[in-house]
Structure formats: C-alpha cells, structure tokens
Amino acid sequence: MNFSKNFLNLTAIVLLVLSSCSKKEEFQTANINFNKNWQFSKGEISEAIQPNFDDSKWETINVPHDWSIKGPFSKENPSFSRGGWLPTGKSTYRKTFTVPASRKENKVFVYFDGAYRNSVVYINGQKVGYRPMGYIGFEYDLTEHINFDEENVLTVTLDNSEQPGSRWYTGTGIYRDVTLKIRNKTYIPNWSLYVTTPKISKETATINAAFNIKNEFSEATNITAKTIVLKNNVEVVSKENEVTLSPDKAESLNVSIDIENPKLWAPETPELYTVKVQLFNKGELIGEETTRTGIRDLQYSNKTGFSINGVQTKLKGVCLHHAGGPLGSAIYKRTIQRQLEILREMGCNAVRTAHNPFSTEFLEVCDEMGFLVMNEVFDEWEVVKKPATIQDGKKIRIPVKFYADKFKEWADTDLTDFVLRDRNHPSVVMWSIGNEIDQMKTDEGIPIANRLIDIIHKLDDRPVTNGLIGYGWDAWPSEGAAQTSDIRGYNYIKENGLDREDKIAPNAMGIVTECASAQSYYPRSTYLYGKEKEEWWKKLGYTSDDAYKWVEQRELIGYRGVQAWKDIKNRDDIMGQFIWTGWDYLGEVIPFGWPARSSSFAPIDLCGFPKDGYYFYQSQWSDKPMVHIFPHWNLEGMEGKEVTVYAYTNGNEVELFQDGKSLGKQKNNLNNVEYQEWKVTYKPGTLKAISYKYGKEIATKEVKTAGKAAKIELFVRRTNLKADGEDLSYIECTILDKDGNVVPKAANVINFEVTGEASLIGVGNGDNMNLDSFQASSRRAFNGKCLAIIKTTEIEGDIIFKATSEGLETTSIKFTSLK
C-alpha cells in the first residue's frame, strides 16, 4: 500500500478548487482557511440544505460574520436590554467548493471555532452535526459525503430566535474562524496533541508531548513519529519513535524531550516554543500536527497565593465578554491585540473569560502578550437565571433562555471539548466551571460541581475555581458546595467576607473571581451638577428610583471597586481579583434602561477610550510614573461654586495648582489604597497636578478650560498594516481647540473617507445611549471623541484616511499595507 500518495504535502502547492461565486482559490496547506466567500441569508429556509438550491441572490460575506450588529436598535427587538436591543433570529450560510479527485484517499474535516447558536451543519444535504452552545469549537468528518472532483455544498443553519437569550450581547452568525482540513487516513486526531512541562529549572526543562495516532486503513502499518521542538522556527531538539498501528485502531504515544537552557514563559517574557509531530511511512512524510507551548512553573498556595517561575504574582485582572464593541462578535486578531494593549497600559496582567469559551485566537494573543487567563466555560447550569434589568425606571427580573435546558445533555461534551482545545495554552493558569450558579447556593450543586471538576482533572492538572459568593444572594453558598473547587472563587464578597472565610476554611486557596470596578456608572467624561444632572435623568424617565440610587452610590469615585482592591492588595493568601468589567460591552445596560444599549461598568468605554477609573488602576497596578486629575474644567454653570477635584497617582505625594496657585500637597501612602481630593471653587482656567516620589517630581497633569472646537486630532497605534484582508486599524479621533486642548463636551459630527486598499468597517463614540448604526461613514463625537475602524484588502498599497467636520480643520493619516 502506498501511504505517501495520500499525503497532502505541506510544502508543495496543492490545488484545491473551491468554487464560490465562480471563483477558484489555491491553497498550500492541509489546514485551509475557509473564511472567504460564503453565501448568507437571514431567516429559516429549509430547502437551502439541498445542494442544488439557488443561493445566487444571497449576500456574499466573509467570516467572521455577526449579522445582529448591523441593527437596527429597537425597543421592539426581543433581545431586550440584555441583548443590547439588537435583532436576533434564524439564518443560513452556504459555501460551495470542490475537492480534487487526487484527494480521494484522504480524510476531509471541517472545523468551526464558534457559530452562534444552535448550529446544524450539512454537507451535500446530509446532516453531520448539531451543537447548541454558540461558543464552543467543533469538528465534523465530511469524508463519506464528499463528491471528489465535483461541487460540494456546506450548509450551516443557526437559530438564535429564543429571546432574551443571554445576559449580555452575543451576536448571531458564524463569528469565528472556519477551517477545512485534509488528512491522510493515518493521522493525529483533532486536539489529541497535549503538551506539558513537568520538570523545569534554569538549566533544563522537560517537554512532554502526548498524542494519539489513528489508522483508518484496513491494514496494519509501521509509522515513525518524529517529535520536534522549535524556537522561532528553528529546531531545538527532536526525538523519533517507531509505532505499529493495527487496522482501524488508534495508538497513544507519550514522548519526553529535555531542553537545555530553556527560555521561560512569564507575563514580562512570553517566550513560546512550537511542538511539531510528524508522521512518516517508509521515509515519506504523511502528516503532521503542531501546537505552541510555554515553559513555566505554576504554583498555588493558601499562604502565598499565585506564583509563576517562583515569582509571587498578584493577578490584577479584568472580566471580559467576547465581543469587540462596534464590530460586535465578529472580531479580528487586531481587535484582541488592541484591547489587551490598552489593558496592559492600565497595569492589568490577567483576564477572566466571562462567562463562556472565547476564541482560539484570543488565547493565542494572550500567549503572545503574556496575559494570565482564568478560562471559564459556563454561566448557568440546570437552572435558568433571572437577571435584574430596568424597564420604565423600575428594576424587574426576566428569565434568560440560554443553556439551562441543554446542560444535562451537553455540559460534559462541551466541557471536554473546551479543555481539550485550550489546555496547551500557557496563558491559561486556571479553569472556571461557573459564575454565580444558583444550584451552588445549596448542596444540590455538589454532585454537579464534582462531576465537572473530575472531567477537567482527568484532562489537565491546572486547578479549578467557580465564582460562587454573590453580593445579592439570599445566603452564602453551602460550605459543601464551596469545598468542591480547588480554589474558592469569590464574587462581590461582602464586607469582612474574607475574614469570615479565613475562620471557616483556613486552609483553602482563594481568588476574587469578580468585583466592582473603581468607576462611576456615568458614561466617559460625564460630570453632572445641579440642573444639568436633573435634566439628564429626566430625559431617561427616571427620578429617585432604583436605577438613580444605583448610579449615585458610585458617583465619580467607584467606591466599591476601590474597597475591593483595598481588601486584597496586601493579602498574600488571595491570588488576585477580576474587576467587572475591563471594557464596556453591548447589552446588560443596568442600571439604565432604554435607550442605553451597552454597559457602563468598566474603566474603558466600548471604543477603548479610558475613563477616570482606568487611572485608578494605573496608579495601583503600574510602576510607570503617572498622575491623573478629574473632572474636566469646562463646567459651565458652576462658576463660583465648589467642585471636588480628585487625583490618582503612584507617587507618594501630589500637589494641586489652580491658575498657578498651590492648593496644597497631599500624601499618598503607597502601601495602602488611596486617592486625593480637594474642594475647589470653580472658575475657567487651568488645573495642574504634580506628583512627587520622595521629594522628586515624577509626573504632571494639566487640565485647561477649552475654547471652541477647531480641529481633529487622529491617533493610531501603527501605520504599517498587513495586506491580508483581516488587518485592522483603530483610528481615535479627538476634537481640540485652537491651542490643542481637548474640548471635553464636543459633539461635532465627523465624516470619514477611506481611499486605497482598505474599507471602513465600523464607527463608534463610547456613548452607551447612542442608537446610531455602528456601520456608517460618520459619527458624532461624544465628549470630544469618536472612533473609526478600517480593514485592509488583500492587495498591497497605500491607504489614506481623512476626517472632516464642518467648521473644523481637515485631518488625514497615511497607512502602508504590505504582504
């Protein structure tokens, strides 16, 4: 038998004709990007699963794709406030392709990293699988249904019609990568390759690669498995093993390789290795699988918390949802990179994936950037949640029809696939099986938690947590339920709660899985006084009801978030905290109702613009010298009245000046959690703060009363882009006066024009009550800022982005896009 003829050579050009919209595409790899040229239609079209169905009038789209984000926003949409008032429903995707006859003896698989939700996949009219959870990755074997050298039709139907369907915005569509895989009939199955680093020192480290080899031929064969460790694409070391495979059987291998002078993975030095396993038959390469790994030693203690490579490390974390602001859930690698860059500049080093599996790409970026991840899988188990929301100014509770009715049947499968997919990522430092699960309030949750934890422990050795102790719960979780986790997870732990836990469970390890952030609920740069505050609330239809009180308790300083950090900053036994949230997100608009369509909990708004709370965390979590003061100094109507001015700094003393006159110095004890405040009589002019460390000036911040809007400032993080059809640039627009001061209340409409090899794919401004479409050619600035997002084509060339606004100077920026 000639096994080599069945191998799709990884270095040669393999012509795989994929016919979609009468286009032919060439691929040079066995893992084929299947994101381009899908046909799409909203609604249920039952006959569309048939291969001869005419989809020529459907919309042609590329994945990732989220059709809900197009809107419109409407109070009538059944997604309600929790889903950001955006449309949902049923939809169908079709892709036509051809596999050459030369591949007839190969295996053909399709892999989806996520499709929201209730996906059913058909190939040539034959159903090959169903997955209810929209966040989970899945793979199907298409081989027996493929018509080689003829057209094949892959059809995906989605159903996100049962609403409200989540406690936050989910998006609807094939919103993550799709891959077509061609394999020899002797191959390493999906997610089979598992890499660990059981022994680590400065001199040497052991990498262990465990994997299965499956033989689907009817004859036995001898295979050579070569395991290679690479660093920066250069081979470091390798080992070969001979394996005899029985017909239609799988064999397991466990290969250990020692690395000399290993480079360790850590938040500051995220060094990555690649582990590649190649399969040879009679000297011919017939298949290979690769994964990345990081060599690092993780330690967990009830005395010293979390350590990596022997360094005690506090998790300074944020909870995130999976969507990307104006792009909805159809995000790209650059979306994730920018999000994490801005968080890192805040001092953040950890992310909790709230409350579902994120994309493979997200974890890859965390691996590359050195972020530590609490990888969470479920938001509810068998009991439907009824979260609070605001309707007509009153707090109500509405059940969310998400996953509870699927949990008994699908939880074990989804959890297994979740761990198998993600366990090679060095960024993952712990698993989480739930968030504020109702069944964990009593002993009812014990057997369920134990079952889920056992599944994880059989697949991986990292510890498991569970966000248990809710602020608004009627009672603390049962002690038996709390004991199930390796690490106790505390959500919104009550006053003196950690001291209580020390008495109940003195030997338990703990982490604050969720807490309030040190941020006002008001939108970015919104400071309200007197009549202006009354009018702001009046337009929302609120008076002194629940929502109003909810916001007022966190006005300007998010006290609960400040206290949450104060509770754990100097406690070695608590591993860290994850604030709710790191970034504003669509949906869950509490404490507001209509017309709010996104949250306002975070120190960063929906577009990535920092709020004041961002600088509180920077003062606590970052060593880079800084000082921040607020509010802005355009407080019309407050002349002659007293205003509180706040300061955050990581110096040990800060001095405030008004129009050049010192208003006094205040101490800042760096061992505690402090901020400074002055009572200042408002008048237009200049505020200046100077921060000192042991008498030496380390940072200054000036806030001036701005004049009339005169020009637009554009800021981008990079101007050299990649011509791959998926690279993005986020262009931040700020309105300035003639002297270069930010105009903090500017609301000018800015028009965007893109010429060259890119297109405008999204706009925003961070206003959580703006109901304009995210897909437009202009945006009204909100409190002086707005955002435009461009995406490259696959053609090299220059890109010119121009921003114009009536009465303001025109501004442009040039990009270069190369392969």
Return the active site residues. 436, 514
Residue bearing tokens 């970052």:
622
Under DSSP, the state recorded for 14 is: B
SS3 letters across 719-777: CEEECCCCCEEEEEEEEEECCCCECCCCCCEEEEEEEECEEEEEEECCCCCCCCCCCCC
What Cα–Cα distance (Å) separates residue 15 from each residue in 27, 100, 198, 289?
6, 8, 42, 21
3-state secondary structure of 376: strand
* Cis bond upstream, residue 416 (ω within 30): no
Edge-to-edge strand list for the sheet holding 758-764: 709-715, 728-737, 785-792, 758-764
In sign, the C-alpha dihedral spanning 263, 264, 268, 272 is positive
| Three-state SS letters, 326-344 | HHCCCCCHHHHHHHHHHHH
Residue 241 three-state SS: strand
Q: At residue 125, what are phi and psi to the nearest 5 degrees?
A: 85, -5
Q: Which two tokens stand for residue 785?
A: 């800022």
What pairing do the DSSP bridges indicate for beta strands 273-281 and 284-293? antiparallel
Radius of gyration of the chain (CA): 28
Torsion of CA 733, 738, 744, 747, to 10 degrees: -60
Question: What is the end-to-end Cα distance of the chain in Å, rounded?
Answer: 41
Q: What Cα–Cα distance (Å) separates residue 785 from each residue in 521, 524, 631, 636, 728?
A: 19, 10, 16, 19, 19
Residue that the structure tokens 């499709």 belong to: 115
* Cβ pair 799, 754 in contact under 8 A: yes
Nearest to 441 by CA among 387, 400, 402, 383: 383
Which amino acid belongs to residue 200? I
Q: Does residue 42 sit in helix, strand or coil?
A: strand
Q: Which two tokens mark 646?
A: 């706040």
Residue 261: left if φ>0, alpha if ψ -120 to 50, beta else—which one? left
Q: Where are the beta strands (DSSP E) in 232-362?
A: 234-245, 249-260, 273-281, 284-293, 298-301, 305-308, 311-312, 315-320, 350-353
- Taking the C-alpha atoms of residue 84 and residue 95, their distance in angstroms, rounded to an integer, is 30
Please name the helix (run of DSSP H) or strand (run of DSSP E) that holds residue 19, with its range, or none.
Answer: none
H or E element in which residue 139 lies: strand 138-141
Contacts of 499 (CB under 8 A, 6+ apart): none
Alpha carbon 65 to chain centroid, angstroms: 16
